[in-house]
Amino acid sequence: MNKFMGCAILGIALVGSGCALTPSSSDGDRGDKPDVTQLPPMPAAEPSLEDPDLANGMAEPAPHGNADASDQDLWDRIRRGYRLDLQQDNPRVSAQRDWYARHPQYFTRVTTRSERYLHFIVEEAEARDMPLELVLLPVVESAFDPFAYSHGRAAGPWQFIPSTGKYFGLDQTWWYDGRRDIVRSTRAALDYLQQLSERFDGDWLLALASYNAGGGTVSRARRRNEEAGLPTDFWNLDLPSETTAYVPKLLAVAQIVNTPERYGVTLHPIEDQPYFATVDAGGQIDLAQAARLAEISSEELYLLNPAFNRWATAPDGPTDLLVPVDAADTFRERIAALPAAERMRWMRYTIRPGDSLSAIARRHRTTTSVLRDINDLPGSTIVAGRTLLIPERAADDYPLSADARRARQQDRARAGRQRIDHRVESGETLWALARSYDVSVRELARWNNMAPGDPLRIGQTLAVWTEDGPAATRRDERRDEMIRKVRYSVRQGDSLYAIASRFNVSVNQIRDWNNGVKQRRYLQPGDHLTLYVDVRSAP
């Protein structure tokens, strides 16, 4: 899955500052509107076997129609649309196929989860005359988990990072993240794949490799082979190790779908009919209220509309909601008849002396920008005695909101560890906190449903699962460290080991802070590394 497209630096953004995930300069200077064929790759959320059900705990769709009739089987329709060469017995494909075959339960669960989304993806791909093997790419990217979030800040079923998502018009706000929007992210991903295919003269394997490693990486690999008189097809290119496995993963999945019985895998039967319909809600609405109107569970509504981060749709849109096809007419009629006052619940808050807009926002689990927009405030100045309109949850039934998902991840018990709640203070970073508590950055990020490159907010509460024993003592010993971000230019003869020794850090830390290092065998003079060092022990 695509890692290159994540933060070039997996070190940690300072509190209050964002992680500017602009496309890598190695692919050319793209300015505000880069050439789409030069966009960097997208890091995917590698499915984990740690989950007890091997599929991240998502609820299976309810039985949907008569999916046993072979003439209505969506899998048959997909097979009929295959156009890639699946006959070759390449050892890289075999290795990936054998992994899936050894985990048939995982494969069955993932294909079960695909039922909500796969028919729509097939229709979109067919309309563009694309090989239908490509509709299986979310198996590789996200295991069809619309909430998948990678260490490189890629989100959604197609794993867009922030910058590429914005390029394709996928808005990302406090309320809404278009990278998880089933309809919009699918169209964006297929747009991207089509344009990459055109770049490589219709070679879909090179297009897939570029989706993972970046078009510039693939083009440079081809140029090297041309200059050496070597073939320039995917199988002969010297690409990052992840990419050399990425394309075979998709081909392996396609082979298993083609003849599942041969590999001992059971595909969840899916009827060749739409699972969802789109209904315009006509404005902002509480999602628990919308679920009641549609007579479906809140969980089902979130799984069809995973782009909405909060308890309501975004005030500035989009206003469309996906609901199961058999609930669409009921929902459409009821939403049209719903009085405006019942779409959302609001509370009036009287400002007290000493209040600040940020404190009020934190207390009511919203943001200052939302309060400013709702109350038409030009800035953050508020006056005691006046009232603010604050959006209020209508119920506690928001099982898959961003807050609920984070709380569930934070609460998940870790064997042999005890939980400590840490309130973020000014100047703290994920890396410094991980070092202080003697845990890894990736662990700390994962426990809090974050990526290592996500910014921290002052006042944010992090769950830290420490091992029993001396961790707290080690934290006290490190309070006086002066950790600073250092940008280091690689010199002739440098190695990761030499740099780590010079700055009193570990090689693994340097690799964590600089994701691109993992994709190259050697450092080159002039390369830049980001380091987080105790300045009192730095050379």
| Amino acid making up residue 141 | E
CA torsion through residues 84, 88, 91, 95, sign: positive
Token pair listed for 281: 């809600």
| Amino acid making up residue 269 | P
CA torsion through residues 524, 530, 532, 533, sign: positive
Is 141 noted as a catalytic residue in this protein?
Answer: yes
Specify burial of residue 146 (Cβ count, 10 A radius: 0-12, 13-18, 19+).
buried
List the Cα angle 464/410/438 in 5-degree steps: 15
CA distance 109 to 112: 5
What is the C-alpha R_g of the chain? 25
**Alpha carbon of 167 to those of 146, 191, 219, 253, 320: distances in Å?**
20, 12, 21, 29, 22
List the Cα angle 152/185/53 in 5-degree steps: 65
Q: Which residues in 222-254 are b (16+ Cβ under 10 Å) and which e?
A: beebeeeeeebebeebebbebbbbbbbbbbbbb
**Alpha carbon of 468 to those of 19, 411, 414, 438, 472: distances in Å?**
33, 17, 12, 11, 9
Among the listed residues 212, 194, 288, the one whose alpha carbon sits nearest the alpha carbon of residue 249: 212
CA distance 438 to 143: 31
Which helix or strand (DSSP H or E) is residue 487 part of? strand 483-489
Query: Which residue among 46, 60, 133, 141 is the active-site one?
Result: 141
Q: Does the bond joining 240 to the residue before it have cis omega, within 30 degrees of 0? A: no
Annotated active-site positions, please?
141
